[in-house]
A = this chain, B = another copy of it.
Amino acid sequence: MFTAEEKKRIPYKIYLSESELPRAWYNLRADMKNKPAPLLNAATKAPITKEELAPVFCDELIEQELNDTDAYFPIPEEIVDFYKMYRPAPLIRAYCLEEKLGTPAKIYYKFEGNNTSGSHKLNSAIAQAYYAKKQGLKGVTTETGAGQWGTALSMACSYFGLDCKVYMVKCSYEQKPFRREVMRVYGANVTPSPSMETEVGRKINAEHPGTSGSLGCAISEAVEAAQNLDGYRYVLGSVLNQVMLHQTVIGLETKTAMDKYGVKPDVIIGCAGGGSNLGGLIAPFMGEKLRGEADYRFIAVEPASCPSFTRGKFAYDYCDTGMICPLAKMCTLGSDFIPAPNHSGGLRYHGMNPILSQLYADGLMEAVTVQQTEVFAAAEEFARVEGILPAPESSHAIKVAIDEALKCKETGEEKVILFGLTGTGYFDMYAYEKFHDGKMENYIPTDEEIAKGQRNLPNV
Protein backbone atom coordinates (compact mmCIF):
# COMPACT_ATOMS: atom_id res chain seq x y z
CA MET A 1 0.00 0.00 0.00
CA PHE A 2 1.03 3.57 -0.57
CA THR A 3 2.60 5.51 2.26
CA ALA A 4 1.66 8.91 3.62
CA GLU A 5 4.89 10.27 2.10
CA GLU A 6 3.97 8.95 -1.31
CA LYS A 7 0.56 10.55 -1.05
CA LYS A 8 2.22 13.82 -0.28
CA ARG A 9 4.71 13.52 -3.10
CA ILE A 10 2.25 12.44 -5.78
CA PRO A 11 -1.10 14.26 -5.90
CA TYR A 12 -4.40 12.58 -6.70
CA LYS A 13 -4.53 14.44 -9.97
CA ILE A 14 -1.55 15.62 -11.98
CA TYR A 15 -2.45 18.59 -14.17
CA LEU A 16 0.13 19.96 -16.54
CA SER A 17 0.27 23.68 -17.24
CA GLU A 18 -0.61 25.12 -20.65
CA SER A 19 3.06 25.53 -21.43
CA GLU A 20 3.56 21.79 -20.93
CA LEU A 21 0.93 20.90 -23.55
CA PRO A 22 2.41 18.94 -26.47
CA ARG A 23 3.17 21.14 -29.48
CA ALA A 24 3.55 18.27 -31.93
CA TRP A 25 1.84 14.93 -32.46
CA TYR A 26 4.12 11.91 -32.50
CA ASN A 27 4.11 9.64 -35.54
CA LEU A 28 5.01 6.22 -34.16
CA ARG A 29 5.51 4.78 -37.65
CA ALA A 30 8.74 6.76 -37.97
CA ASP A 31 10.25 4.52 -35.29
CA MET A 32 8.86 1.21 -36.54
CA LYS A 33 11.22 -1.17 -38.29
CA ASN A 34 8.28 -3.12 -39.72
CA LYS A 35 6.13 -0.33 -41.06
CA PRO A 36 2.40 -0.95 -41.41
CA ALA A 37 1.57 -2.16 -44.91
CA PRO A 38 0.30 0.55 -47.27
CA LEU A 39 -3.40 1.15 -47.90
CA LEU A 40 -4.50 -0.35 -51.19
CA ASN A 41 -7.01 0.86 -53.76
CA ALA A 42 -9.93 -1.56 -53.32
CA ALA A 43 -10.42 -1.88 -57.07
CA THR A 44 -6.85 -2.02 -58.41
CA LYS A 45 -5.20 -3.51 -55.29
CA ALA A 46 -2.29 -1.12 -55.87
CA PRO A 47 -1.04 1.18 -53.07
CA ILE A 48 -3.46 4.05 -52.89
CA THR A 49 -2.36 7.52 -53.96
CA LYS A 50 -3.09 10.95 -52.54
CA GLU A 51 -5.07 11.76 -55.68
CA GLU A 52 -7.30 8.72 -55.22
CA LEU A 53 -8.01 9.65 -51.62
CA ALA A 54 -8.66 13.34 -52.30
CA PRO A 55 -12.38 13.04 -53.20
CA VAL A 56 -13.05 11.37 -49.86
CA PHE A 57 -10.57 12.80 -47.35
CA CYS A 58 -9.19 16.27 -46.56
CA ASP A 59 -5.85 16.95 -48.23
CA GLU A 60 -3.75 17.58 -45.16
CA LEU A 61 -5.19 14.54 -43.41
CA ILE A 62 -4.20 12.37 -46.38
CA GLU A 63 -0.63 13.59 -45.92
CA GLN A 64 -0.78 12.57 -42.27
CA GLU A 65 -2.36 9.24 -43.18
CA LEU A 66 0.33 8.22 -45.60
CA ASN A 67 3.46 9.69 -44.03
CA ASP A 68 5.36 6.99 -42.15
CA THR A 69 8.74 8.71 -41.89
CA ASP A 70 8.35 12.08 -40.14
CA ALA A 71 8.38 11.54 -36.39
CA TYR A 72 6.54 14.73 -35.48
CA PHE A 73 3.71 16.85 -36.91
CA PRO A 74 3.44 20.30 -35.34
CA ILE A 75 0.00 21.01 -33.86
CA PRO A 76 -1.44 24.18 -35.44
CA GLU A 77 -1.95 27.09 -33.02
CA GLU A 78 -5.74 27.12 -33.59
CA ILE A 79 -5.91 23.51 -32.43
CA VAL A 80 -3.67 24.17 -29.44
CA ASP A 81 -6.04 26.99 -28.48
CA PHE A 82 -9.00 24.62 -28.60
CA TYR A 83 -7.07 21.99 -26.66
CA LYS A 84 -6.58 24.58 -23.93
CA MET A 85 -10.35 24.63 -23.41
CA TYR A 86 -10.36 21.07 -22.07
CA ARG A 87 -6.77 19.89 -21.93
CA PRO A 88 -4.35 18.98 -20.42
CA ALA A 89 -6.40 16.05 -19.17
CA PRO A 90 -5.59 14.93 -15.63
CA LEU A 91 -3.41 11.94 -14.93
CA ILE A 92 -5.03 10.47 -11.85
CA ARG A 93 -3.46 8.34 -9.16
CA ALA A 94 -6.11 5.80 -8.14
CA TYR A 95 -5.35 5.93 -4.42
CA CYS A 96 -8.93 5.04 -3.52
CA LEU A 97 -9.04 2.04 -5.84
CA GLU A 98 -5.66 0.81 -4.59
CA GLU A 99 -6.90 1.06 -1.01
CA LYS A 100 -10.14 -0.76 -1.86
CA LEU A 101 -8.25 -3.58 -3.61
CA GLY A 102 -5.56 -3.73 -0.92
CA THR A 103 -2.94 -3.97 -3.64
CA PRO A 104 0.70 -2.92 -3.51
CA ALA A 105 0.38 -1.93 -7.19
CA LYS A 106 0.39 1.75 -8.02
CA ILE A 107 -2.44 2.53 -10.41
CA TYR A 108 -2.60 5.58 -12.63
CA TYR A 109 -5.17 6.51 -15.24
CA LYS A 110 -5.33 9.20 -17.83
CA PHE A 111 -8.86 10.60 -17.73
CA GLU A 112 -10.17 11.94 -21.02
CA GLY A 113 -13.80 12.38 -19.96
CA ASN A 114 -13.72 15.99 -18.73
CA ASN A 115 -15.29 17.50 -21.82
CA THR A 116 -18.84 17.51 -23.11
CA SER A 117 -18.23 14.88 -25.80
CA GLY A 118 -17.36 12.72 -22.80
CA SER A 119 -14.27 11.15 -24.30
CA HIS A 120 -10.88 11.45 -25.98
CA LYS A 121 -12.55 11.68 -29.41
CA LEU A 122 -12.44 15.47 -29.33
CA ASN A 123 -8.64 15.36 -29.70
CA SER A 124 -8.93 14.19 -33.29
CA ALA A 125 -12.31 15.79 -34.10
CA ILE A 126 -10.96 19.29 -33.64
CA ALA A 127 -7.92 18.51 -35.78
CA GLN A 128 -10.02 17.07 -38.58
CA ALA A 129 -12.51 19.94 -38.48
CA TYR A 130 -9.63 22.41 -38.56
CA TYR A 131 -8.11 20.90 -41.70
CA ALA A 132 -11.52 20.71 -43.39
CA LYS A 133 -12.13 24.38 -42.63
CA LYS A 134 -8.65 25.32 -43.81
CA GLN A 135 -9.35 23.56 -47.09
CA GLY A 136 -12.46 25.72 -47.52
CA LEU A 137 -14.95 22.86 -47.23
CA LYS A 138 -18.62 23.29 -46.43
CA GLY A 139 -19.02 20.32 -44.16
CA VAL A 140 -18.06 16.79 -43.19
CA THR A 141 -19.81 13.44 -42.88
CA THR A 142 -18.99 10.73 -40.42
CA GLU A 143 -20.20 7.66 -38.59
CA THR A 144 -20.52 7.18 -34.86
CA GLY A 145 -20.90 4.07 -32.73
CA ALA A 146 -21.31 4.87 -29.06
CA GLY A 147 -22.00 8.46 -30.04
CA GLN A 148 -18.87 9.91 -28.52
CA TRP A 149 -17.17 10.55 -31.82
CA GLY A 150 -20.30 12.10 -33.30
CA THR A 151 -20.65 14.41 -30.31
CA ALA A 152 -16.99 15.34 -30.49
CA LEU A 153 -17.19 16.10 -34.19
CA SER A 154 -20.37 18.12 -33.71
CA MET A 155 -18.59 20.23 -31.10
CA ALA A 156 -15.57 20.71 -33.33
CA CYS A 157 -17.67 21.60 -36.40
CA SER A 158 -19.75 24.05 -34.40
CA TYR A 159 -16.52 25.74 -33.23
CA PHE A 160 -15.27 26.20 -36.79
CA GLY A 161 -18.69 26.77 -38.41
CA LEU A 162 -18.80 23.59 -40.51
CA ASP A 163 -21.83 21.45 -41.35
CA CYS A 164 -21.78 18.01 -39.74
CA LYS A 165 -23.71 14.95 -40.93
CA VAL A 166 -23.54 11.93 -38.65
CA TYR A 167 -24.57 8.32 -39.38
CA MET A 168 -25.11 6.71 -36.00
CA VAL A 169 -25.03 2.92 -35.58
CA LYS A 170 -28.69 2.00 -35.08
CA CYS A 171 -28.30 0.05 -31.85
CA SER A 172 -26.48 2.99 -30.22
CA TYR A 173 -29.02 5.43 -31.64
CA GLU A 174 -31.71 3.46 -29.83
CA GLN A 175 -29.75 2.79 -26.64
CA LYS A 176 -28.63 6.41 -26.30
CA PRO A 177 -31.41 8.81 -27.28
CA PHE A 178 -29.79 11.68 -25.41
CA ARG A 179 -26.65 11.43 -27.48
CA ARG A 180 -28.62 12.55 -30.49
CA GLU A 181 -29.83 15.58 -28.57
CA VAL A 182 -26.33 16.62 -27.54
CA MET A 183 -25.26 16.49 -31.19
CA ARG A 184 -28.30 18.55 -32.03
CA VAL A 185 -27.34 21.19 -29.46
CA TYR A 186 -24.12 21.46 -31.45
CA GLY A 187 -26.03 21.75 -34.70
CA ALA A 188 -25.37 18.31 -36.22
CA ASN A 189 -27.68 16.27 -38.45
CA VAL A 190 -27.97 12.69 -37.13
CA THR A 191 -29.29 9.63 -39.04
CA PRO A 192 -29.57 6.05 -37.69
CA SER A 193 -27.51 3.60 -39.77
CA PRO A 194 -28.13 1.61 -41.88
CA SER A 195 -30.53 4.17 -43.32
CA MET A 196 -32.51 4.21 -46.53
CA GLU A 197 -30.76 7.46 -47.55
CA THR A 198 -27.78 5.87 -49.22
CA GLU A 199 -27.37 3.13 -51.76
CA VAL A 200 -25.16 1.09 -49.43
CA GLY A 201 -27.60 1.57 -46.55
CA ARG A 202 -30.48 0.27 -48.62
CA LYS A 203 -28.37 -2.70 -49.71
CA ILE A 204 -27.36 -3.61 -46.15
CA ASN A 205 -30.96 -3.27 -44.96
CA ALA A 206 -32.08 -5.60 -47.72
CA GLU A 207 -29.42 -8.21 -46.96
CA HIS A 208 -29.73 -8.04 -43.16
CA PRO A 209 -33.36 -7.12 -42.42
CA GLY A 210 -33.73 -5.64 -38.93
CA THR A 211 -29.97 -5.31 -38.47
CA SER A 212 -28.90 -3.12 -35.55
CA GLY A 213 -26.03 -1.83 -37.63
CA SER A 214 -22.29 -1.72 -37.15
CA LEU A 215 -19.50 0.80 -37.50
CA GLY A 216 -18.58 -0.82 -40.81
CA CYS A 217 -22.04 -0.09 -42.27
CA ALA A 218 -22.13 3.44 -40.93
CA ILE A 219 -18.71 4.20 -42.41
CA SER A 220 -19.90 3.09 -45.84
CA GLU A 221 -22.92 5.36 -45.65
CA ALA A 222 -20.90 8.37 -44.51
CA VAL A 223 -18.32 7.86 -47.26
CA GLU A 224 -21.03 7.60 -49.89
CA ALA A 225 -22.73 10.75 -48.60
CA ALA A 226 -19.45 12.70 -48.63
CA GLN A 227 -18.89 11.77 -52.25
CA ASN A 228 -22.41 12.84 -53.22
CA LEU A 229 -22.48 16.15 -51.35
CA ASP A 230 -20.71 19.17 -52.80
CA GLY A 231 -17.92 20.59 -50.63
CA TYR A 232 -18.02 17.71 -48.14
CA ARG A 233 -15.40 15.22 -47.11
CA TYR A 234 -15.56 12.18 -44.91
CA VAL A 235 -13.86 12.13 -41.53
CA LEU A 236 -13.34 9.13 -39.25
CA GLY A 237 -13.05 8.84 -35.50
CA SER A 238 -10.77 5.84 -35.21
CA VAL A 239 -8.92 3.09 -37.12
CA LEU A 240 -6.99 5.45 -39.41
CA ASN A 241 -3.37 6.31 -38.75
CA GLN A 242 -4.11 10.06 -38.80
CA VAL A 243 -6.58 9.60 -35.91
CA MET A 244 -4.06 7.68 -33.86
CA LEU A 245 -1.58 10.46 -34.65
CA HIS A 246 -3.88 13.12 -33.13
CA GLN A 247 -4.57 10.89 -30.15
CA THR A 248 -0.88 10.76 -29.26
CA VAL A 249 -1.60 13.96 -27.35
CA ILE A 250 -2.95 11.56 -24.67
CA GLY A 251 0.27 9.58 -24.38
CA LEU A 252 2.53 12.61 -24.68
CA GLU A 253 0.77 14.40 -21.82
CA THR A 254 0.82 11.21 -19.78
CA LYS A 255 4.53 10.72 -20.30
CA THR A 256 5.31 14.35 -19.42
CA ALA A 257 3.28 14.04 -16.24
CA MET A 258 4.87 10.74 -15.23
CA ASP A 259 8.37 11.96 -16.00
CA LYS A 260 7.72 15.05 -13.92
CA TYR A 261 7.08 12.85 -10.91
CA GLY A 262 9.70 10.24 -11.76
CA VAL A 263 7.17 7.47 -12.34
CA LYS A 264 7.67 4.73 -14.92
CA PRO A 265 4.79 2.42 -15.82
CA ASP A 266 5.41 -1.34 -15.92
CA VAL A 267 2.24 -2.17 -17.77
CA ILE A 268 0.07 0.05 -19.97
CA ILE A 269 -3.54 -0.95 -20.64
CA GLY A 270 -6.11 0.41 -23.04
CA CYS A 271 -9.43 -0.67 -24.49
CA ALA A 272 -9.40 -1.34 -28.21
CA GLY A 273 -12.16 -0.71 -30.71
CA GLY A 274 -10.59 0.89 -33.75
CA GLY A 275 -7.46 1.47 -31.72
CA SER A 276 -7.09 5.23 -31.61
CA ASN A 277 -7.14 5.77 -27.85
CA LEU A 278 -4.97 2.74 -27.19
CA GLY A 279 -2.51 3.80 -29.87
CA GLY A 280 -2.52 7.39 -28.69
CA LEU A 281 -1.85 6.38 -25.10
CA ILE A 282 0.94 3.92 -25.77
CA ALA A 283 2.66 5.70 -28.69
CA PRO A 284 5.44 7.58 -26.87
CA PHE A 285 6.11 4.58 -24.61
CA MET A 286 6.11 2.17 -27.55
CA GLY A 287 8.48 4.57 -29.32
CA GLU A 288 10.95 4.18 -26.45
CA LYS A 289 10.56 0.42 -26.63
CA LEU A 290 11.13 0.38 -30.39
CA ARG A 291 14.22 2.58 -30.00
CA GLY A 292 15.50 0.28 -27.24
CA GLU A 293 15.41 3.02 -24.63
CA ALA A 294 12.97 1.38 -22.24
CA ASP A 295 10.71 -1.62 -21.94
CA TYR A 296 7.03 -1.75 -21.12
CA ARG A 297 4.25 -4.32 -21.26
CA PHE A 298 1.27 -3.24 -23.35
CA ILE A 299 -2.18 -4.83 -23.11
CA ALA A 300 -5.02 -4.20 -25.53
CA VAL A 301 -8.43 -5.10 -24.10
CA GLU A 302 -11.22 -5.98 -26.46
CA PRO A 303 -14.77 -7.24 -25.93
CA ALA A 304 -15.17 -11.01 -26.28
CA SER A 305 -18.03 -10.17 -28.64
CA CYS A 306 -15.75 -8.41 -31.12
CA PRO A 307 -12.23 -9.88 -30.75
CA SER A 308 -10.30 -8.36 -33.67
CA PHE A 309 -6.81 -8.87 -32.22
CA THR A 310 -7.26 -12.20 -30.53
CA ARG A 311 -9.43 -14.03 -33.06
CA GLY A 312 -9.06 -11.94 -36.21
CA LYS A 313 -6.77 -12.56 -39.17
CA PHE A 314 -3.84 -10.25 -39.88
CA ALA A 315 -4.68 -9.61 -43.51
CA TYR A 316 -5.77 -6.99 -45.99
CA ASP A 317 -9.44 -6.22 -45.59
CA TYR A 318 -12.08 -3.65 -46.36
CA CYS A 319 -12.46 -0.97 -43.69
CA ASP A 320 -16.22 -0.80 -44.28
CA THR A 321 -19.05 -3.20 -44.91
CA GLY A 322 -19.83 -1.58 -48.23
CA MET A 323 -16.27 -2.23 -49.46
CA ILE A 324 -15.83 1.29 -50.84
CA CYS A 325 -12.96 2.40 -48.58
CA PRO A 326 -9.31 1.51 -49.29
CA LEU A 327 -8.02 -1.85 -48.11
CA ALA A 328 -5.93 -1.90 -44.94
CA LYS A 329 -3.74 -4.68 -43.61
CA MET A 330 -4.99 -5.23 -40.12
CA CYS A 331 -6.30 -7.67 -37.54
CA THR A 332 -9.80 -8.26 -38.81
CA LEU A 333 -12.90 -10.31 -38.20
CA GLY A 334 -13.92 -9.57 -41.77
CA SER A 335 -15.94 -6.67 -43.07
CA ASP A 336 -19.02 -8.93 -43.12
CA PHE A 337 -18.77 -9.53 -39.39
CA ILE A 338 -21.67 -7.92 -37.55
CA PRO A 339 -21.05 -7.97 -33.80
CA ALA A 340 -23.80 -8.76 -31.31
CA PRO A 341 -25.68 -5.66 -30.10
CA ASN A 342 -24.07 -5.42 -26.68
CA HIS A 343 -23.04 -2.33 -24.80
CA SER A 344 -19.45 -1.84 -25.80
CA GLY A 345 -20.82 0.40 -28.57
CA GLY A 346 -17.53 2.11 -29.39
CA LEU A 347 -15.63 -1.18 -29.56
CA ARG A 348 -17.84 -2.92 -32.10
CA TYR A 349 -15.58 -2.64 -35.15
CA HIS A 350 -14.47 -5.59 -37.23
CA GLY A 351 -10.94 -4.35 -37.86
CA MET A 352 -8.13 -2.57 -36.03
CA ASN A 353 -5.75 0.29 -36.68
CA PRO A 354 -2.98 -0.93 -39.04
CA ILE A 355 -0.12 0.36 -36.85
CA LEU A 356 -1.40 -1.50 -33.80
CA SER A 357 -2.14 -4.57 -35.89
CA GLN A 358 1.48 -4.62 -37.07
CA LEU A 359 2.80 -4.15 -33.52
CA TYR A 360 0.59 -7.01 -32.33
CA ALA A 361 1.72 -9.24 -35.19
CA ASP A 362 5.33 -8.44 -34.26
CA GLY A 363 4.75 -9.53 -30.67
CA LEU A 364 5.29 -6.05 -29.25
CA MET A 365 1.88 -5.91 -27.61
CA GLU A 366 -0.51 -8.34 -25.89
CA ALA A 367 -4.28 -8.52 -26.25
CA VAL A 368 -6.99 -10.01 -24.04
CA THR A 369 -10.77 -10.27 -24.24
CA VAL A 370 -13.27 -9.63 -21.49
CA GLN A 371 -17.00 -10.28 -21.10
CA GLN A 372 -19.40 -7.41 -20.70
CA THR A 373 -20.87 -8.43 -17.34
CA GLU A 374 -17.43 -8.54 -15.73
CA VAL A 375 -16.69 -5.20 -17.38
CA PHE A 376 -19.76 -3.60 -15.79
CA ALA A 377 -18.94 -5.12 -12.42
CA ALA A 378 -15.49 -3.53 -12.64
CA ALA A 379 -17.03 -0.24 -13.78
CA GLU A 380 -19.28 -0.13 -10.75
CA GLU A 381 -16.49 -1.03 -8.35
CA PHE A 382 -14.37 1.72 -9.86
CA ALA A 383 -17.16 4.32 -9.82
CA ARG A 384 -17.93 3.74 -6.16
CA VAL A 385 -14.41 4.49 -4.99
CA GLU A 386 -12.93 6.76 -7.65
CA GLY A 387 -16.03 8.92 -8.08
CA ILE A 388 -16.10 8.73 -11.88
CA LEU A 389 -18.84 6.88 -13.75
CA PRO A 390 -16.90 5.28 -16.58
CA ALA A 391 -18.03 4.57 -20.12
CA PRO A 392 -18.53 0.87 -20.89
CA GLU A 393 -15.72 1.06 -23.45
CA SER A 394 -13.25 2.50 -20.93
CA SER A 395 -14.35 -0.06 -18.38
CA HIS A 396 -12.74 -2.81 -20.43
CA ALA A 397 -9.40 -1.29 -19.45
CA ILE A 398 -10.53 -0.88 -15.85
CA LYS A 399 -11.37 -4.58 -15.64
CA VAL A 400 -7.90 -5.65 -16.75
CA ALA A 401 -6.17 -3.00 -14.62
CA ILE A 402 -7.99 -4.37 -11.58
CA ASP A 403 -7.00 -7.93 -12.55
CA GLU A 404 -3.36 -6.89 -12.84
CA ALA A 405 -3.53 -5.10 -9.50
CA LEU A 406 -5.00 -8.18 -7.83
CA LYS A 407 -2.18 -10.30 -9.26
CA CYS A 408 0.23 -7.90 -7.58
CA LYS A 409 -1.64 -8.43 -4.33
CA GLU A 410 -0.85 -12.13 -4.59
CA THR A 411 2.76 -11.73 -5.59
CA GLY A 412 3.48 -8.62 -3.53
CA GLU A 413 4.90 -6.84 -6.55
CA GLU A 414 4.68 -3.04 -6.49
CA LYS A 415 4.04 -2.68 -10.20
CA VAL A 416 3.04 0.62 -11.73
CA ILE A 417 -0.12 0.12 -13.78
CA LEU A 418 -1.25 2.78 -16.21
CA PHE A 419 -4.53 2.66 -18.06
CA GLY A 420 -6.57 4.94 -20.28
CA LEU A 421 -9.96 6.02 -18.98
CA THR A 422 -11.31 7.26 -22.26
CA GLY A 423 -14.65 8.62 -21.17
CA THR A 424 -17.74 8.85 -19.01
CA GLY A 425 -20.86 6.72 -19.00
CA TYR A 426 -23.55 9.37 -18.52
CA PHE A 427 -25.25 8.31 -21.73
CA ASP A 428 -24.95 4.60 -20.99
CA MET A 429 -27.43 4.38 -18.15
CA TYR A 430 -29.66 1.92 -20.01
CA ALA A 431 -26.70 -0.44 -20.05
CA TYR A 432 -26.00 0.07 -16.35
CA GLU A 433 -29.70 -0.51 -15.65
CA LYS A 434 -29.63 -3.76 -17.62
CA PHE A 435 -26.57 -4.90 -15.71
CA HIS A 436 -28.23 -4.12 -12.38
CA ASP A 437 -31.38 -5.92 -13.33
CA GLY A 438 -29.37 -9.01 -14.26
CA LYS A 439 -30.58 -8.76 -17.84
CA MET A 440 -27.21 -8.25 -19.46
CA GLU A 441 -25.99 -11.08 -21.66
CA ASN A 442 -22.50 -12.01 -22.74
CA TYR A 443 -21.79 -12.82 -26.34
CA ILE A 444 -18.96 -14.86 -27.82
CA PRO A 445 -19.07 -15.34 -31.58
CA THR A 446 -18.63 -18.91 -32.78
CA ASP A 447 -15.76 -19.83 -35.10
CA GLU A 448 -18.37 -20.21 -37.82
CA GLU A 449 -19.63 -16.67 -37.30
CA ILE A 450 -16.12 -15.33 -37.58
CA ALA A 451 -15.41 -17.42 -40.67
CA LYS A 452 -18.63 -16.07 -42.17
CA GLY A 453 -17.52 -12.51 -41.42
CA GLN A 454 -14.26 -13.18 -43.21
CA ARG A 455 -15.78 -14.86 -46.27
CA ASN A 456 -15.18 -11.80 -48.42
CA LEU A 457 -11.57 -11.06 -47.43
CA PRO A 458 -10.03 -9.62 -50.59
CA ASN A 459 -7.54 -11.73 -52.43
CA VAL A 460 -4.32 -9.72 -52.04
**A114, CB-defined interface residue at 8 Å:** yes
**A185, CB-defined interface residue at 8 Å:** yes
CB distance from A333 to the nearest CB of B (A): 31
The oligomer's copy count stands at: 2
A426, closest chain B residue (CB): B426
- With A13-B84, A182-B429 in contact, do A155 and B115 touch (Cβ < 8 Å)? no
CB distance from A392 to the nearest CB of B (A): 12
* 161-192 of chain A: CB within 8 A of chain B: 177-178, 181-182, 184-187
CB distance from A363 to the nearest CB of B (A): 38
Q: What are the residues of chain B within 8 A of A443 when measuring CB–CB?
A: none
Judging by beta carbons under 8 Å apart, are B185 and A12 in contact? no
Judging by beta carbons under 8 Å apart, are B427 and A387 in contact? no
CA distance A77 to B433 in the complex (A): 35
* 106-122 of chain A: CB within 8 A of chain B: 114-116, 118, 122
Judging by beta carbons under 8 Å apart, are A426 and B385 in contact? no
Q: What are the residues of chain B within 8 A of A159 when measuring CB–CB?
A: 96, 384-385, 387
CA distance A427 to B178 in the complex (A): 8
Judging by beta carbons under 8 Å apart, are B424 and A387 in contact? no
Judging by beta carbons under 8 Å apart, are B96 and A12 in contact? no
CA distance A61 to B132 in the complex (A): 56
* 393-449 of chain A: CB within 8 A of chain B: 424, 426-427, 429-430, 432-433, 436
Contact with B along A141-171 (1 / 0, CB 8 A): 0000000000000010011000000000000
**A15, CB-defined interface residue at 8 Å:** yes
- Chain A, interface size category, equals 35 or more
CB distance from A261 to the nearest CB of B (A): 13
Judging by beta carbons under 8 Å apart, are B182 and A116 in contact? no
* 76-123 of chain A: CB within 8 A of chain B: 82, 84-86, 96, 114-116, 118, 122
Secondary structure type dominating chain A contacts: helix
CA distance A58 to B433 in the complex (A): 32
A114, closest chain B residue (CB): B114
CA distance A187 to B383 in the complex (A): 11
CA distance A427 to B187 in the complex (A): 19
Judging by beta carbons under 8 Å apart, are B389 and A116 in contact? yes
Q: What are the residues of chain B within 8 A of A433 when measuring CB–CB?
A: 181, 184
Judging by beta carbons under 8 Å apart, are B186 and A383 in contact? yes
Q: What are the residues of chain B within 8 A of A178 when measuring CB–CB?
A: 178, 426-427, 429
Q: What are the residues of chain B within 8 A of A18 when measuring CB–CB?
A: 11-12
Judging by beta carbons under 8 Å apart, are B432 and A388 in contact? no
CA distance A158 to B380 in the complex (A): 11
Judging by beta carbons under 8 Å apart, are B187 and A84 in contact? no
A388, closest chain B residue (CB): B116
Q: What are the residues of chain B within 8 A of A115 when measuring CB–CB?
A: 387-388
CB distance from A260 to the nearest CB of B (A): 13
Partner of A429, one of B114, B181, B388, B432: B181
A-B contact pairs, 17 of them (CB 8 A): A12-B84, A13-B84, A82-B387, A85-B386, A86-B387, A96-B159, A155-B387, A158-B384, A177-B429, A178-B178, A178-B427, A181-B430, A182-B426, A182-B429, A185-B436, A186-B384, A426-B426
Binding site for B on A (CB under 8 A): 11-13, 15, 17-18, 82, 84-86, 96, 114-116, 118, 122, 155, 158-159, 177-178, 181-182, 184-187, 380, 383-389, 424, 426-427, 429-430, 432-433, 436
Nearest 9 Cβ contacts at the A-B interface: A178-B429, A181-B429, A426-B426, A12-B84, A116-B389, A11-B18, A15-B15, A158-B384, A85-B387
